[in-house]
Every structure is written in structure tokens, then in C-alpha cells.
Amino acid sequence: MTLRQSIRQTIQSATQRLALDPHLAASARRDAETLALHLLGITRAGLLADPDRELSTAQLDDYEALLARRLQHEPIQYILGTQEFYGLPFRVTPAVLIPRPETEHLVESALERLPHDRPVAIADIGTGSGAIAIALAKHLPQASVTALDLSPSALDVARSNAEALGVSPRLRFVLSDLLSGLPPEEQRGHFDAIVSNPPYIPTTDEPSLHPEVRAYEPHSALFSGKDGLDLYRRLIPAAYDALQPGGLLALEIGHGQREAIASLLEGWHEVGFVDDLQSIPRVVLARK
């Protein structure tokens, strides 16, 4: 005899199992529900309308497979294959960093300082999923964006996102270490703006990271030397060369890095910082 189980019962059971893990307890109910909605292809309203709908044996097996992945600390975004960023749905895979709300401050800060009514050339260094580049292109209709990354797999994800979100004609994807993959003439005084969310976590912090970050997200997009500043030391001079006079540099930075970044930007103009919602300096802005 087959045991019948409703959506409600399935979610309750999964929540209890997830809550046993201290790393997953805080999001246990949300994750259990999200996996069910994803599996069944319904909205939360649909769930609330019929919580006692019985699941088939195949559906229960499929849900158990998804839950097992979450219990191994795989990020929910990789399980679902998607993450929203700046109001847009982005495909994500383990080849790319999961876009985070903090990075929306970077996009917002750049949009506030770039012209919306004329052509503007932008470079996004370390584009990953393409989240920053695509969000800027969506809101700057005359912008042309060069998205650069060291990872061919990341560029494949970014290309697919650009196509899905209708901005691929104005984006160019370049396999590159910082800006070195560009033609020489584009590495000198070419761009109106350069943006980046570079790796900035010190390698010494790796043991303290949440298991889902440490075990699943690409380390090349997370870590940058013992103090987390190695990429900035290379990126900032390269960006200075590649920007037009008066060009904008906008970078995400890590906790406690404000003073060190300010020092690296000596010689730039209009250097300023933008705090995130926790009042932590999250974005640095400067003009050539």
C-alpha cells in the first residue's frame, strides 16, 4: 500500500529535517517551501489554495532528491538554477558567483552617475553571471557593455542571460584576465565607466565561511590573497589606464576594506563610498 502525503505534510517534514542542521535552520521553512514550489511549478498562492493536494510517488522521490542536495549545503540558487538580481531573473550555475543583494548597491550607484541619454562604453570586470553588466544595459538603453571574465564557463552563463533578457546586441563577452584580453587601443582611455565586483575575501577567512559558500561557489570569484586586496592592486591601475579622463570607476568592496581601498585610489578624484543597508561601506566610486 502506497503512503499518501500532502504538500503540507511534505513541507513540514522537510522543514524539520533541515532545521536539525544549524547552518540551515534559519531558512528551513523557506527552503522546504521553495523546493516544493519549484518541483510542482506552482506559486505560493497556488500552494495556499490547495495545501492538502496529494503528491505522487514520483513527485515525492523527486522532492527527496532536491532536499538531499540542500541537506548537503548546496545553495538553493544552484538547485533551482536561478536567482533574481535588480528585478531580473538570472540563470546561475556553480560556474558563477550567486548574485547578492549587496551588489545591487553597485548597480544603483553607477546608474546614478552615468548618463541615460547618450552612448556610454562600460566594462564589467569579472562579469560572472553577467548580472551587473546586464542590469546596467537594461537601464541604460544607449550603453554598450564589455563583459570580461577569466572563466569560459562563466561567460557561457552570462551570454545565455544576456540573450534571455534581450540585451545581447549591446553586450560583448571577452575571455580576459582583468582587461588584458582587450585590444591595446581599448586598454588606453577607451571606457566611460568600469565596474566590478571582484573577489575580496581574505584566504584566511575561508574556514569561517558558511559551508554552502565555501564548498560550492567558485573560489576564483571569492578569494583574493591574504588580505583580500590582491585583485584591487591589479585592477585599479589597469582601470585608470583604460578609462577616459573623467571616467567612472565603481567597485564593490569587502567589510573593513575602506581605508586600504582609499589608499589604493590615491591620485583619483571624487573618491567616495556608499554604505549597504547594514551601514557597511560596500561600494567605492572614483573618477579618473
pLDDT one-digit tens code per residue, 164-174: 999 999 999 99
Q: Give the span between the Cα atoms of 35 and 111, in whole angstroms.
A: 34
108 lies in the same domain as 213: yes
66 lies in the same domain as 200: no
142 lies in the same domain as 282: yes
77 inside domain: no
pLDDT at 92 > cutoff 60: yes
Contact yes or no for 106/195 (Cβ under 8 A): yes
**Domain end point (choices 46, 72, 98):** 72
Work out how many domains the chain is built from and give that number. Answer: 2
CATH number at residue 106: 3.40.50.150
CATH number at residue 31: 1.10.8.10
65 lies in the same domain as 173: no
Mean pLDDT confidence for 86-101: 97
Q: Give the span between the Cα atoms of 136 and 123, in whole angstroms.
A: 11
Mean pLDDT (the chain) is 95
117 inside domain: yes
**Domain end point (choices 72, 102, 120):** 72
- Identify the domain containing residue 42 by its residue range: 7-72
Contact yes or no for 150/231 (Cβ under 8 A): no
207 lies in the same domain as 231: yes
Mean pLDDT confidence for 86-91: 97
61 inside domain: yes
149 inside domain: yes
- CA-based angle 119:140:101, to the nearest 5? 140
**Domain end point (choices 39, 72, 105):** 72
58 lies in the same domain as 113: no
Q: Give the span between the Cα atoms of 273 and 206, in whole angstroms.
A: 26
15 inside domain: yes
Q: Give the span between the Cα atoms of 55 and 9, in whole angstroms.
A: 10
86 lies in the same domain as 45: no
1 inside domain: no
150 lies in the same domain as 23: no
65 lies in the same domain as 88: no
Nearest to 7 by CA among 67, 68, 73, 51: 51
Mean pLDDT confidence for 31-47: 92
201 inside domain: yes
19 lies in the same domain as 130: no
pLDDT (tens digit per residue) in 223-267: 899 999 999 999 999 999 999 999 999 999 999 999 999 999 999
Q: Bridge partners of 269?
A: 287
pLDDT (tens digit per residue) in 201-212: 999 999 989 999
104 lies in the same domain as 86: yes
pLDDT (tens digit per residue) in 157-198: 999 999 999 999 999 999 999 999 999 999 999 999 999 999
Does the predicted model carry a pTM greater than 0.75?
yes
pLDDT (tens digit per residue) in 116-168: 999 999 999 999 999 999 999 999 999 999 999 999 999 999 999 999 999 99
49 lies in the same domain as 101: no
